[in-house]
Amino acid sequence: MNSGLTSLDPYYLGSVHAVAETGEVVVASYTGSQLLSYVYSSPNVIWVVGIQKIVPTLELAIKRVWEYCLPLEDKHIKAMGQLGSNVGKLLIFEREVSPLRKIRMLLVEEKLGN
């Protein structure tokens, strides 16, 4: 049976950069390579998120990406001898509208990632 989704994998496991208490989830990416699975192709997306990524508002979630996550990632990339990092694409995820997809977020009560 064809679900209408074009997915390479039935499950996609990842994380996000910020979760706003107002409901939005923010993901930053340099190339956008993981965003297709997050927004369309994988029928089951599982985000594992440390509680330090929760902020009160969408504005603070975006600020967290630019002022906290990006500097850490840039430092990490430069330490590997590469030129650095940047945000090429910024996803603001509010809700899933397809009944064929399930998005799950596992909040972990410890610091995971940046």
What is the tens place of the pLDDT at every residue in 20-68? 999 999 999 999 988 988 998 889 999 999 999 999 999 999 999 999 9
> Rounded CA gap, 9 and 42, in Å?
6
Please report whether residue 28 resides in a domain: yes
What is the C-alpha radius of gyration for the chain, rounded to an integer number of angstroms? 15
Task: Centre a 10 Å sphere on the Cβ of residue 58 and count the other Cβ atoms it contains.
Answer: 18
Please report whether residue 55 resides in a domain: yes
Please report whether residue 2 resides in a domain: no
- The pLDDT-based confidence of 8 (bands split at 50, 70, 90) is low
Mean pLDDT of the chain: 90
Please report whether residue 62 resides in a domain: yes
What pLDDT shows up at residue 34?
85
Query: pTM for the full model?
Result: 0.86
Residue identified by tokens 């950069």 is 17
Please report whether residue 112 resides in a domain: no
Q: Which residues are CB-neighbours of 11 under 8 A, at least 6 positions away?
A: 42, 44, 45, 46
Please report whether residue 92 resides in a domain: yes
Please report whether residue 5 resides in a domain: no
> Rounded CA gap, 50 and 61, in Å?
14
Please report whether residue 94 resides in a domain: yes
- Residue 89, token pair as written in the block: 């694409």
Domain count of the fold of the chain: 1
18-20 sheet: strands from edge to edge? 54-55, 18-20, 25-29, 89-93
Beta-bridge mates of residue 50: 108
Look up the domain containing 83 and give its range.
11-107
